[in-house]
Amino acid sequence: MRPDLSQVDPLEHNLATRVSVGDLLTRSAQHFGRRVAIAEPGLEVSYGVLDDTAERLGRSLLDLGVGHQQPVALLMRNSWRFVATFFACAKAGLVALPVNTMLAPADVAWILADAGCDTIVVDAEHVQFLREVLSLAPAPDRVLVTGRGHRNELLDGFPVRSWEELAGPQSPSVAGRGGTGSEPPGRAGLGHPDPAPPVVPLRVRIEDRDVVHCLYTSGTTSRPKGVLTSHLSVHLAALTNAVQVRHPYGDDASVMPIVLPLFHTTALDTLLLPMLLTGGTVVLPDRFEPESFLDVVERWQATHVVLLPTMYDAVLASPSLPRRRLDSVRLCVYAMAPMAPERIAEIARAFPRAKVLLGSGQTECVPATVFQWASHQTTKSASWGPPVASVDARIMGTDGTLLAAGTEGEIVYRGPHVMEGYWHHADANAAAFAHGWFHSGDVGRLDDEGVVWFTDRLKDIVKTGGENVSSVAVERVLLSCPAVAECAVIGTPHPRWGEAVTAVVVPAEDVDDASALEDRVIAHCRAHLAGFQVPKRVVVVGSLPRTATGKVQKAELRAQLGSTPLGADPEPARDRD
């Protein structure tokens, strides 16, 4: 059965029925207009101001000639301007393309050329970086620069416009409480005056499966691929994440500092959007530093904390931690890397009312895709947890057969979180959607309760002497060694074993005798692992190469260790047969 819509304007029907990420903010502004949506040092931005700014900027982008579903690159730091620009694209039917500003100029130039991006929004602080990028990339049609008073001389030869002029006259309020003072803010807002009369909302036809953002993968093994994700996927994932982490809708809204970069799916889709969907307050510090982060948690009475394991380590090492009042925090989430049970227990003591849970996912399937329940903190802390309510996760064999509980294979997903596909990568799309499931590239199993247990990335499994060794399993044991602060396990070529299990470790303390540390690490592994899993090689380094989101770049380690030891080695590593 289908309705007779012959007398209904298609745009009117679309506006009344669609799923659009831009409408998410409009609804929140309707209910929480004076509440603080985004706070950054010295600045508080209400929902009303944020929404009106996004509407004005979206209209300006269309007036400048940016076409439907065309990409708009964001070379921007975490800020309310980033958020407003993202929503401007969503409201105007454009594709937001946040760019990792920590990449080399050549890499950014490649991404802009690959995406065919001719519109760039850049912070004034990144203009010099953009100059270097544009010396290697096709010239854009238009560049918007944030910061008042910046004119065309910033980028000679390029059509530059002021972000502020295009975004309209409203300005956020200067912080009076919470942002810089010592008095904690109120949950329902900080008493801002009513925002100016709202602008007339954009009337743009946006289909549920239109692409809302293009996020390029980290590209740790090859050129990154553009992941195209729809309004439906992002919006439904925001709802699911809000339920999963218990963001209340109404008076007692959540408060969350976000220190992970908004150009990544975790901060953007998993953290920011569920908060703005439910009327929460997002605090954006300039950078992560343990003491100032704890200041933010205390001052804003944060309810949710999401950090990488290395960030939690820094917080736990803070000398001021014992005198902090952190009982407002209800949930501590970690991601990107496993943590030892002992470290999880330390976090639970530091945040006495919080559960400490792992959330997992990937750019191609809007995270969180799987998420631990509170009971798993003690019973299954080494697991990934079950799939979230709107995702189906199974285990598949190489022939496309779904495998029974307890059987190891590739983790596959099905549901609205899954991307629309990769940008102009037909072969990769064919492989990703084979057999009607999204193929994650992760190996694992399901237990009889449907909980996902991750073994390793397919590309990171070490094949040694006819055995498959999970790098994650070995890393978990290494992290339980008191002498090890960080680690990564890779396979390196070996004439006898094919690949040698190689542990790259960062010591917990400065070491004078690397050989003694290696012996200690090997002894610890022998006590907890099967013989074929014990590293045959230990490499001591000062730090591990990581992406901007904290993911260890194992491809770089393999490249460096495939022929010669890292230059950071105190002495040549020793093979152990």
Q: DSSP of 173-201, one letter per residue? A: EEPSSSSSSSSPPPTT---PPPPPPPPPP
Partnered with residue 410 across adjacent β-strands are 396, 443
Using DSSP's 3-state secondary structure scheme, residue 435 falls into helix
CA–CA separation, 106 and 103 (whole Å)? 8
pLDDT digits (tens, 9 = 90+) for 142-192: 999 998 655 545 677 778 999 999 998 766 655 433 333 333 444 444 334
Of the listed ranges 186-195, 322-331, 445-454, the least confidently predicted one is 186-195
Of the listed ranges 119-128, 134-143, 540-549, the least confidently predicted one is 540-549
Q: What is the mean pLDDT of residues 307-331?
A: 95
Q: What confidence tier does 574 reach under pLDDT thresholds 50, 70, 90?
A: very low
Q: CB within 8 A of 68, min separation 6: which ones?
A: 93, 94, 204
Closest CA to 405 of 386, 424, 420: 386
pLDDT score of 15: 96
pLDDT score of 341: 86
Whole-number average pLDDT of the chain: 89
pLDDT score of 553: 85
Q: What confidence tier does 355 reach under pLDDT thresholds 50, 70, 90?
A: very high
Inform me whether the pLDDT recorded for 219 exceeds 90. Answer: no
Which ranges constitute the DSSP H helices of 334-423? 341-350, 376-379
pLDDT digits (tens, 9 = 90+) for 279-296: 999 999 999 999 999 999
Q: What is the mean pLDDT of residues 85-109?
A: 95
* Residue-range domains of the chain with CATH: 255-457 (3.40.50.12780), 461-561 (3.30.300.30)
Which ranges constitute the DSSP H helices of 75-174? 80-92, 105-115, 127-134, 163-167
- Per the model's pLDDT, the better-predicted residue between 263 and 382 turns out to be 263
CA–CA separation, 48 and 30 (whole Å)? 8
Q: Phi and psi for 269 in degrees, rounded to 5?
A: -85, -40
Q: What confidence tier does 530 reach under pLDDT thresholds 50, 70, 90?
A: confident
Q: What is the mean pLDDT of residues 30-55?
A: 96
pLDDT score of 567: 37
Inform me whether the pLDDT recorded for 379 exceeds 80. Answer: yes
Burial 174-186 (b: 16+ CB within 10 A, else e): ebebbbeeeeebe
Inform me whether the pLDDT recorded for 374 exceeds 70. Answer: yes
Q: What is the mean pLDDT of residues 461-470?
A: 82
Q: What confidence tier does 335 reach under pLDDT thresholds 50, 70, 90?
A: confident
Closest CA to 525 of 557, 480, 468: 480
pLDDT digits (tens, 9 = 90+) for 107-118: 999 999 999 999
